[in-house]
Each structure stands twice: as C-alpha cells, then as structure tokens.
Amino acid sequence: AATAAAVAAGVVYLQLRAARVAAQRAALLLEVEKAAPCAAEQEEVDDAKLAARVREHSRRELRNMMILYKREHPQGAFEEFMRDKFPENVTADPVTGELSCDPRVRGDAWEGAYHDVRASDQLHELA
C-alpha cells in the first residue's frame, strides 16, 4: 500500500511538473509573440533611418563632386559634368557633338543641384 501511494504521489508530482513546464512554455511563447512585432517595427524604423542616411550621404557626395568639378572647370556646363563623371547618362550626337542627358538627371536632385552649387562652396564632410 505504501508503494502504491508513493507511485501515485510520484505520478501526481510529474503531472503537476509537466503542467507547470507547459504553462511556462506558453508564457514564453506569448512573450516572444508580443516581442516579434515590436522587433519587426524597430527593424523597419532602423531600415528607414539607414536609407535616409545613405540618401543624405549620396547627396553630399554628389554635391562635393559638383563643387570640385566647377573648381576644375569654371565654365563647365551640366552636360559636360555628366559626360565626364557619369557618361552612362549622356549621349553625344555623332554629327554635331551636342550632348544629351538622360531625362532622369534633369530634375532638382541632379541638374538643379549642379546649378545651385558654386566652386567656392565648402565641401561637405562625409562621415
């Protein structure tokens, strides 16, 4: 009888322990599920911040190129800058030699920036 009681107590103990472990596991899974969206949102924020930093760095680098080009070529036109620095975006008429730029560089970010910068401008620090 004592052996049967000990076995029964052992079984009850194991059942309680299994239930407690299952509850702990469920609680941990719930924490992970709650944390996952926060981590994903933080990752999106981090990605957006990194993309903004890369865009700003690229903008400064392009402006530095323009400033240096204008220092070397005081009368240099935008089309000449593009031909010398980004020839893949320029075509030259074989008869007249007239330069034609890809329309995508004709906006404020490229052509507008070229006309905004001066040879005397201070170079942007690139970190």
pLDDT of residue 70: 98
pLDDT of residue 44: 80
Widest pairwise Cα distance in the chain = 111
pLDDT of residue 67: 98
pLDDT digits (tens, 9 = 90+) for 46-77: 888 999 999 999 999 999 999 999 999 999 99
Q: What is the C-alpha to C-alpha distance for residues 108 and 100, in angstroms, rounded to an integer? A: 17
pLDDT of residue 21: 79
pLDDT of residue 20: 85
pLDDT < 70 stretches in the chain:
36, 39
In 32-122, beta strands by DSSP E: 90-92, 99-101
pLDDT of residue 9: 74
